[in-house]
Amino acid sequence: MNVVNFLSASAIPIIILIIITYGIKEKQKVFDIFLEGAKDGLKIVISLFPTLLGIFLAIGMLRTSGVLDFVIKIISPVTNFLKIPSEILPLAFLRPISGSSSMGVAIDIMQKYGVDSVIGKTASTIMGSTETTFYTIAIYTAAVKIKKIRFVLVAALLADLAGIIASVIICQILS
């Protein structure tokens, strides 16, 4: 266990030393290259800020307005027929939109139903088998200034749907 702790604590300093050593060996100005990269990184952060602000504002409005609860109430008959627990529907809707909101919902589910319950296991599996699709697409496309995301969005949402359905089926089979 001490070896693992040592390796964990020393991994980043060792990587930094390797980079600096390689830069010196190749006769590069390592610090100047670092500063250029930091400036470029700051430009990217500044260009992404409006996108992130819009996403977080939309998520907050979605959760507090009651729209999510309304949509879940409407589709509950279909999901009940398909034997999809209605308790995981808020997580299934929020996971593609926001990682932090979906983490909060998953924690609420696990506190309410227990981590070893079918619903708790399904929530955990959904968290591991899906992605924050809108956030990821917004960040990557804003960073490279791509405007047409229609096909990427459809494919990513279908992958999320497949992950959610597979999570429900697998957790019901294994429980």
pLDDT tens across 113-167, in order? 999 999 999 999 999 999 888 878 877 787 777 878 888 888 888 999 999 999 9
Burial class (CB in 10 A: 0-12, 13-18, 19+), 112: exposed
Does position 111 have pLDDT exceeding 90, yes or no? yes
* Residue spans per domain, the chain: 49-174
pLDDT tens across 3-52, in order? 888 888 888 999 989 988 988 898 888 888 888 988 988 888 888 788 77
Judge if pTM exceeds 0.85: no
Does position 94 have pLDDT exceeding 90, yes or no? no
- Judge contact between 74 and 35, C-beta under 8 A: no
C-alpha 175/C-alpha 168 separation (Å) is 11
CA 119 to chain centre: 20
17 three-state secondary structure: helix
pLDDT for the residue 1: 64
Q: What are the tokens at 70?
A: 């309304």
**What is the end-to-end Cα distance of the chain in Å, rounded?**
33
